[in-house]
Structure 1
Amino acid sequence: MEPVDLFYSYAHEDEKLRDELDGHLALLRRKGVIRPWHDRGIVPGQEWDKAIDEQLAMADLILLLVSMDFLNSDYIWGKELATAIERARRGDASVIPVLLRAVDLEDAPFAHLQGLPTDLRPVTSWPNRDEAWTDVAKGIRRAVEAIRQRWASAPPPAAPPAAPPEAPSVPRASGFGTAVASVPLPEEPVRTLEMARPAPRMAATRDARTDALLERTIAAFANELALAARIKGVQGIGSGEAEGLAEALIDMPAQKRVLWVDDRPENNRHELAALAKLQVEVVNVRSTGEAIACLDADEEGFDLILSDWDRAEPAATASSAGLELLRMLAARPRRPPVIFYHAEFDPSRRAARRECLLRAGAFGEAVRPGELLALIRSAFASD
């Protein structure tokens, strides 16, 4: 299916934040889901205002990157914003405000539109900005899916009207006054729906740009894994292995969701950051009870559950919080794979723990960040 054309409307003071979002959306670009454009794509010699008008008029999805600088821009307010709101009103483009910095939006002309991140929590206020961008990217994925569903359900364009029958052949005068018969013209080919000329689309995103963004994303992922290994005092994985893990996770067919159960989530901050770099959404809970309640209340579902092994929890009937979680999950009609991320490095005790949890129905266990990400990849692939 044709990529969804995406237009960034933003203030140049927010270029760094736009570039961060563009990097997170590079995963969608790689899969041919979106085709983004912003004014830095204007080439020398091109009329910049004409180029912006053309791209804004063709966009299927318009992102308003909102900040005080955005609201104070006369050009954005009088040109880009006016066009975006009018196209949203007509229903021929989806418009999403993305709140970068805290501002008062009560009287904004787009205040009636559903914005991002969730609950309009400004991107710059999140402790982990990668998690904020993951939340924004998730919303954009949904908008893109809605646009594609509209395309799929739209009636096919009407066939062009048939050409009128050819007029009877009549003599025509030659330049010398001699009557000659006209030569019948070849028949007009029958036009089909497949021959209909497609509507003009945005220029395709250059592969070099997408590749550069992905390389930066993968490098950041590898760096977070290295930091996690260093903090835990274990050996990290090589850059080649990290790159392979990242590419495998990037190429998963859909965005993945993880429920992580740990009473000390701060101990996993770099592992969480590594997953966020690749648009894996993680929901953190601190207890088995919270995990079960989250599974019951969540409408989207999870692709994987991660858990620690020991938590101080009341009314546990199993010998560890990990086994208690497995016991409670076993009563459910369907549950995601469960991976344990723990700190038992002694070979014999770790082997005994592994045998115990596998027998109880777990997918696997890991003690090193690289092991964990390799297991996550395998669990996602098994779904």
Structure 2
Amino acid sequence: MSDLKYRLSDFYSPEFKAIFLDEIKNTVTEELKEHRDRSHGGKPSSTCQYEISAERLIFYLNQELGTLPKVVHQKYEILDKSIREKVFVSYSHFDKEYLSDIQRHFKPFKSQIDFWDDSRIQPGQKWKDEIRNAILETKVAILLVSTDFLGSDFISSDELPPLLEAAEKEGAVILIVILKPCLFEEFDDLNQFQAMNPPNRPVSKMDENEKEELFVNLVRQTRKVLNEK
């Protein structure tokens, strides 16, 4: 352990050292648990040399981790635990009647799908923080596109950038529904994604059955994405 410690101090910053040692500790801890389950019925053995060595290594690793900047170690743990499972709806409040229709289609699956829109924000909560936190957990982002959506300063500055970054870097999926006639094709950051319906056939031009079929397909595609995780 002392040899490893000196080698790390030569080549790693304290931040990288914390992450590296934490990985080793997690690996040793998991392997120790597997050994106990396999060889000792899940119980510790005071005479097993493998367990004695593993416990000693974990002890020294914990000692060394205790000397590192705690904020670095805490940040690493939070990132390691982040899981994207939410369905996040981004829309303009001018289009709220369309949100109600989509909520209705997702409602039968509320026990399976964590469907989030800003109607879940409770009085007294900091609404910007709630939206930001929901975006950090988003696996599927449903964008309800209209002229009002495209013209919203809040959507363009606070919602779209982190959602598009999550799609590019973290495997989030963007599903676009064109609600009303708009210049969707002029926005390169959005038109790179295939919309659920063509821009020349927005929801506002659909009859009732066509609209229902579109929303059913939206739920079907969302469930498919979530089930692929």
Same fold, judged at TM 0.5 (above): yes
SS at match of 1:95: strand
* Distance (Å, rounded) in 2 between the aligned partners of 1:23 and 1:143: 15
Deviation at 1:3, TM superposition (A): 10
Whole-angstrom distance in 2 between the partners of 1:107 and 1:69: 15
1:61 and 2:140 equivalent?
yes
- Kindly provide the amino acid, as one letter, of the partner of residue 110 in structure 1: L
CA offset digits 1:104-147 (Å, max 9, x no partner): 1122111011211367621110022x531322331331242133
Partner of 2:203: 123
User: Of the candidates 103, 125, 140, which is equivalent to residue 22 of structure 1?
Assistant: 103
1:36 to 115, 118, 126: 115
Q: C-alpha distance in 1, partners of 2:199/2:94?
A: 24
Taking CA–CA contacts closer than 8 Å with sequence separation of 6 or more, which of the two structures ends up with the larger relative contact order?
2
Matched AA of 1:104:
L
Structure of greater Rg: 1
Q: Secondary structure at the match of 1:137?
A: helix
Q: What is the one-letter code of the residue matched to 1:17?
A: Y
Match of residue 103 from structure 1: 182
Matches within 5 A, 1:195-344: none
Listed as ranges, the matches of 1:156-175 within 5 Å are none
Matched residues, percent identical? Answer: 27
CA positional deviation for 1:14: 0.6
8 A Cα contact 2:141 2:173, kept in partner: yes
Distance 1:125 1:132, change over 3 A: same
Report 1:327-366 matches (<5 A).
Answer: none
Residue 212 (structure 2) pairs with residue 133 (structure 1): yes
Deviation per CA, 1:323-363: give whole Å up to 9, x if none.
Answer: xxxxxxxxxxxxxxxxxxxxxxxxxxxxxxxxxxxxxxxxx
- 2:129 matched to which residue of 1? 50
Alpha-carbon shift at residue 54 of structure 1 (Å): 0.2
Using the size of structure 1 for normalisation, the TM-score is 0.36
Q: Deviations over 1:50-108 (max 9, x none)?
A: 00000011011111110011011000011101111111111431111111101111221
Question: Aligned partners of 1:28 and 1:135: how far apart in 2?
Answer: 17
TM-score, structure 2 length as denominator? 0.59
* Aligned residue number for residue 309 of structure 1: none
With over 3 angstroms needed to count, the CA separation of the structure-2 counterparts of 1:120 and 1:59, relative to structure 1, is farther
Task: Tell me the matched-pair count.
Answer: 146
**Could you tell me how far apart the structure 2 residues matched to 1:95 and 1:35 are?**
16
Amino acid at match of 2:97: K
| Cα shift readout 1:143-167 (whole Å, capped 9, x = no counterpart) | 4213322x2xxxxxxxxxxxxxxxx
1:12 CA displacement = 0.5
Distance 1:3 1:82 in 2: 17
Q: Judge conservation of contact 1:98–1:116 (CA < 8 Å) in 2.
A: yes
- Equivalent residue letter for 2:98: L
| Aligned-partner residue type, residue 92 of structure 2 | A
CA distance in structure 2 between the partners assigned to 1:132 and 1:117 by the alignment: 10
Partner of 1:106, secondary structure, is helix
Instruction: Report how far residue 44 of structure 1 moved.
Output: 1.2
Does the residue aligned with 2:177 lie in a helix, a strand or coil? strand
Q: Which protein is richer in helix relative to its size?
A: 2
- Residue number in structure 2 paired with 1:77: 156
Give 3-state SS (helix, strand or coil) of 2:190's partner.
coil
Moved over 4 A (4+): none
In the alignment, residue 122 of structure 1 is paired with which amino acid?
P
